[in-house]
Structure 1
Amino acid sequence: MACILLARCQSFRRQEQGMIFQQGVDALAHAEPLDRPADGLQGWVRRAYRAAGRTGSRLANALYGTWLGHPFHPVVTDVVVGTWTATEVLDALDALSGRHVFARCADASLLTGIGAASVAVLSGLTEWQHTRAHPRRVGLVHAIANISITLLQGTSLALRLLGARRAGRALSGFCYGVLITSSYLGGEMVGKYRIGVNHAPVDQVPQQFVAVMAERDLPENELRRVDAGGVSVLLVRQGERIYAMHATCTHLGGPLPQGTLVDGVIQCPWHGSRFDLETGRVVRGPASFPEQCLATRVRDGQIEVGPPAGLGRCRHEPVGATG
């Protein structure tokens, strides 16, 4: 009986601690004084990319993860957490054993983490510039924490190289604690506010061909939203081919039918992500996830939309083909 009561008390304490963390995040999300510095930082990031021109656009695409088909930020943050965790373990072994090999390995993992953290800060700011309201405020604190610990870890490395290893280890230990807290904020950005996730209904595709509209009613180069068996679909006609894809932008859920055609690709009206009409491939960020393309054909004067052969593999029969 005593064991059961103890287990329940421990469970209650964990739940209470979780509530405290959550309440803290909610307080940040509603802290309107954070809006002014957020405005300033977002403006600075946007101006920096605009000033860099085409080079800035290529850099932004790389940091978004457009080339990867997946957000780049969580990939590089895993490297940061992994290397700095290794640093803490190696620091402990160095302190306990006094063997120089552990000190060298700790410094190497610390340096690797600093490099990865610098990239993570850049990729995080690049994605964060498109956020608004609650996630923007939480993201601001997350960014400030990450920038601070990256600079402090650099100070720790300098202390180690100057021979003050004990002070360097202590500073890294403090930074690691801040890193865990900041990682919690990052998790809230993803889990609660859905920053860095695919906003398109990836599991919703027609299971068979569905007639959606008359072929004669779709002019060339006009964006049209249709319903294909409960799935919101974008239709675009170019020449003898009709293209179809999910109507929701994978980045932050923008309505693609309200977008524009630019050089033969569809551009989201919200943040300018561009997708290839034929395959759904991301041509330009901030989107990193590709759009789900869908197969099309014309039967008895009706445009039909059907399931793809796989991601990026969709057959678009020329208008007039019968099979």
Structure 2
Amino acid sequence: MSPDARGPGRVLRSVDRLERFSGADRWLDAVRRVVHAAPLGRARDGLHGRWLGHPVHPLMVQVPIGSWLSAAVLDALPGQRYAARTLVATGLLAAGPAAVAGWVDWADLNRQQQRVGMVHAATNIAGVALYTTSLTARLRGREWAGKVFGWAGLTVVGVGGALGGHLAYRQAAGANHAEAVPQLVGPGWHHVAEVSDLPADRPVRRDVDGVAVVVVRQRDDVVHVLAEHCSHLGGPLSEGVLEDGCLRCPWHGSRFRLTDGWNVTGPAVAPQPAFDTRIVDGRVEARLRG
């Protein structure tokens, strides 16, 4: 039998079944409400990574993973117990902030992503527990037990990392869902709509060179055009709400400035592709900005 005939492998089938498992959805909703209710204020956007232009959680997890991997290597060498102990402790200290950023991102994912993300989090919690046990054993002079728990923790964290990779690369959690627009829209000006066909102060969906966009005509006939699908998770901005010169995504509440597509508030970490506009003989035309 050819590889193509066999279909997806066991690992992929298992994770796909996890995406479809709905038995814990009520519990996921309860956890999501707790995360949304946390009094984080402006720090929430910082934890999403809006200041960085992409999610900050993958960056933050490099410290605990790197520390624990280094500790595992030192555990295989003689005379490195103090250095290994320090690295295990460093990983544990860094794991907390990384987990907070991960939970903030998780609360604004779609349902299939949340299901995988919860198992990703539970696996990493188990890894942290093993490393806590490892450090405790080391501090009590039980070096071999500390090493064994450390190696077990690294294995479990590796599984969690694989699930994180599935989230990022197969489910596109944290990816810019509007990134393709500059590659799809041809250069120059494109017809959008007749001015008379556009309602005032209400977002509507139209096309520019075959690419979906959201169009907002203000009452003074100033027209703004942004890419239709939200950069966070592809939500339909034409179904959003206008607020103080911004357009709020109906799915997760990201706000984009009409004039240039800048993501004023998250969870979107990438701005929305924006278009220059002009009116010629009653026709709205647009071209991709920049």
Q: Does 1:152 align with 2:162?
A: no
What is residue 306 of structure 1 aligned with on the other side? 287
What is residue 154 of structure 2 aligned with on the other side? 176
Q: How far apart, CA to CA, are the structure 2 residues paired with 1:294 and 1:106?
A: 54
TM-score w.r.t. structure 2 length?
A: 0.88
Question: Mean Cα displacement is larger for which, 193-202 or 138-147?
Answer: 193-202
Q: Which runs of 5+ in 2 are unaligned?
A: none
Residues 279 and 80 (structure 1), Cα distance of their counterparts in 2 relative to 1, 3 Å cut: farther
**SS at 2:206's partner residue?**
strand
Q: How far apart, CA to CA, are the structure 2 residues paired with 1:254 and 1:246?
A: 11
The total of aligned residue pairs comes to 282
- 1:249 to partner: Cα distance: 0.4
**SS at 1:33's partner residue?**
coil
Which structure has more helix as a fraction of its residues? 1
Residues 281 and 154 (structure 1), Cα distance of their counterparts in 2 relative to 1, 3 Å cut: farther
Query: Which of 215, 232, 249 is the matching residue for 1:251?
Result: 232
- 1:165 to partner: Cα distance: 2.4
**SS at 2:205's partner residue?**
strand
Q: Does 1:143 align with 2:121?
A: yes
Residues 255 and 170 (structure 1), Cα distance of their counterparts in 2 relative to 1, 3 Å cut: same
Q: Which runs of 5+ in 1 are unaligned?
A: 1-11, 310-323
**SS at 2:201's partner residue?**
coil
- 1:234 to partner: Cα distance: 1.5
For the 8 Å contact 1:206–1:305, the answer to whether it is kept is: no
Query: Which of 205, 221, 224 is the matching residue for 2:201?
Result: 221
Q: Which amino acid aligns with 1:180?
A: G
What is residue 62 of structure 1 aligned with on the other side? 46
Q: Which amino acid aligns with 2:23?
A: P
Query: Which of 11, 22, 31 is the matching residue for 1:41?
Result: 31
Question: Mean Cα displacement is larger for which, 31-40 or 265-274?
Answer: 31-40
What is residue 86 of structure 1 aligned with on the other side? 70
**SS at 1:233's partner residue?**
strand
RMSD: 2.2
Query: Which of 104, 107, 116 is the matching residue for 1:126?
Result: 104
Q: Percent identity of the aligned residues?
A: 37
Task: Summarize deviations over 1:123-176 as a string: whole Å, max 9, x none.
Answer: 222122233443322211111111222233233223323322222221111010
- 1:177 to partner: Cα distance: 0.3
Map 1:98-137 → 2, pairs under 5 A: 98=79, 102-137=80-115
- 1:271 to partner: Cα distance: 0.8
Q: How far apart, CA to CA, are the structure 2 residues paired with 1:135 and 1:194?
A: 9
For the 8 Å contact 2:18–2:115, the answer to whether it is kept is: yes
For the 8 Å contact 2:240–2:249, the answer to whether it is kept is: yes
